[in-house]
C-alpha cells in the first residue's frame, strides 16, 4: 500500500462529486424528496407513501443520471410515466418534467444554502497530485462544473466527465462503468491502475463492473455494509482515514 492508502500500481484517482468532494448529496436527496412527495401526494392523495430520503435515495436515485433516477424510483412503486421531452416544464407529469422540477429545486437550494467541500477530500486530492497521481471528477450531475467552480476546486482535476460530457459522448451513467472508464482513458491509464472514490451504491456497482484497481466506498450516512455488498474494497467515513491505518474505524 502507498502512503495514500492505495495499492501499489494505482496511477489515477477518479472522484465522484456529490457526497465525496462536496456536501451536496443531502441537498440532492432533499430536492428529490420534495419532487417525488409532491407528485405522489397529487396522485395518491394524503395517504401517499413518502419518498425515503435515505433508503429510497440510496437504492434508486443516488449517483444515477437524473432521468434514470426518476424512472428507477417510480418503477419501484410500479409507476411508469411518459418520457416527455428534455425541455418539458417542471409541472409536466413526465420523466423529464419531474427531473426538471428536481433540478430547479436543487439549484434553488444550492443558491440559498451554498456549497461546502469536504476538507478531508480536498486535502487528499492535493496529496494525490503531489504524489504524481492523475485525478478526475466523474459525476452524473449536469451542474458539476459550476459546483466545482463555486468551491474553487476546478484546477484539482485533470479530467471532468459529468452529465454534460456523458450526454455529448452518449455514455450511459452509473451504475454502468462507462463514465469512469472514459475518465481513466482520458487520463491515459487502464482501469486496473485507477481507484474509484464513491458514496453511492450505483457508484460501487460501476467500480466493480469496470474492474477498477481499487474501489473506495465513502460512507457519509451509515451505509457501510451496503457499500461493501456493492463492491467496496474499503469503506471510510472520510478520505482523511486513508493512509493512516491507526485511525481506520
Ligand atoms: Mg455521490
219 counts as catalytic: no
Q: What number is the average pLDDT over the span 66-70? A: 96
Residue 150 burial by Cβ neighbours in a 10 Å radius (0-12, 13-18, 19+) = middle
Give the model's confidence band at 246: pLDDT under 50 very low, under 70 low, under 90 confident, else very high. Answer: very low
Residue 186 annotated in active site: no
- pLDDT confidence of residue 1: 83
Q: Is 129 helix (H, G, I), strand (E, B) or coil?
A: helix
Which pLDDT does position 247 carry in this prediction?
43
Calculate how far, in angstroms, residue 44's C-alpha sits from the geometric centre of ligand 1.
Answer: 30
Query: In the prediction, which pLDDT does 2 show?
Result: 83
Q: Residue 138 Cα, ligand 1 centroid: separation in angstroms? A: 9
Which among 8, 16, 87, 88 is annotated as catalytic? 16
The share of the chain scoring above pLDDT 90, in percent, equals 92
Residue by residue, DSSP assigns 142-191 as TTHHHHHHHTT-GGG-SEEE-HHHHHHHT---TTSSHHHHHHHHHHT--G
Please tell me the distance between residue 213's alpha carbon and the centre of ligand 1 in angstroms: 19
CA–CA separation, 195 and 127 (whole Å):
15
Q: Write the pLDDT tens digit of every residue in 78-91.
A: 999 999 999 999 99
Biggest CA pair distance of the chain: 57
Q: Which pLDDT score is estimated for 104?
A: 95
% helix / strand / coil in the chain, to the nearest 5? Answer: 50, 10, 40
Residue 116: what pLDDT? 93
- pLDDT bracket for residue 36 (50, 70, 90): very high
For the segment 176-194, what is each residue's pLDDT rounded down to a tens digit? Answer: 999 999 999 999 999 999 9
Structure pTM? 0.89
Whole-number percent of the chain with pLDDT over 70: 98
Cα of 17 to ligand 1 centre, how many Å?
6
What pLDDT was estimated at residue 243?
72
Distance 93 CA to ligand 1 centre (A): 26
Q: Which pLDDT score is estimated for 244?
A: 57
Query: Cα torsion at 206, 63, 159, 95 (round to 10°)?
Result: 110
pLDDT at 121 over 60: yes
Q: Are 139 and 28 in contact (CB under 8 A)?
A: no
Please identify which of the residues 18, 88, 219, 233 carries the catalytic annotation. Answer: 18
CA-to-CA dists, residue 37 to 34, 44, 45, 76, 221, angstroms:
5, 10, 10, 14, 21
pLDDT of residue 43 exceeding 60: yes
Q: Number of helices (H) and strands (E) in the chain: give both, helices first.
A: 10, 6
Q: What is the per-residue pLDDT across 96-110, written as a single tens digit (0 to 9) for each? A: 999 999 999 999 998
pLDDT over 50 at 67, yes or no: yes
Query: What rounded mean pLDDT belongs to the chain?
Result: 94
For position 66, what pLDDT does the model report? 94
Amino acid at each position: 500500500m502507498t502512503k495514500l492508502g492505495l495499492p501499489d500500481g494505482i496511477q489515477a484517482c477518479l472522484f465522484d462529486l456529490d457526497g465525496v468532494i462536496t456536501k451536496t448529496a443531502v441537498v440532492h436527496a432533499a430536492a428529490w424528496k420534495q419532487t417525488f412527495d409532491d407528485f405522489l401526494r397529487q396522485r395518491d392523495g394524503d395517504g401517499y407513501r413518502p419518498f425515503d430520503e435515505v433508503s429510497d435515495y440510496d437504492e434508486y436515485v443516488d449517483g444515477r443520471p437524473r432521468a434514470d433516477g426518476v424512472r428507477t424510483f417510480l418503477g419501484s412503486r410500479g409507476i411508469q410515466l411518459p418520457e416527455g421531452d428534455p425541455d418539458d416544464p417542471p409541472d409536466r407529469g413526465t420523466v423529464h418534467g419531474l427531473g426538471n422540477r428536481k433540478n430547479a429545486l436543487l439549484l434553488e437550494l444550492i443558491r440559498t444554502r451554498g456549497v461546502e467541500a469536504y476538507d478531508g477530500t480536498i486535502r487528499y486530492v492535493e496529496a494525490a497530485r503531489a504524489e504524481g497521481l492523475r485525478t478526475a471528477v466523474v459525476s452524473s450531475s449536469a451542474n458539476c462544473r459550476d459546483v466545482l467552480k463555486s468551491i474553487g476546486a476546478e484546477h484539482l482535476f485533470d479530467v471532468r466527465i459529468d452529465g454534460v460530457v456523458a450526454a455529448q459522448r452518449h455514455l450511459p451513467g452509473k451504475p454502468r462503468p462507462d463514465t469512469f472508464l472514459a475518465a481513466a482513458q482520458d487520463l491515459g491509464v487502464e482501469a486496473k491502475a485507477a481507484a474509484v472514490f464513491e458514496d453511492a451504491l450505483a457508484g460501487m456497482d460501476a467500480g466493480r463492473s469496470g474492474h477498477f484497481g481499487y474501489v473506495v466506498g465513502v460512507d457519509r450516512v451509515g451505509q457501510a455494509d451496503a457499500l461493501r455488498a456493492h463492491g467496496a474494497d474499503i469503506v471510510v467515513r472520510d478520505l482523511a482515514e486513508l493512509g493512516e491505518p491507526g485511525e481506520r474505524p
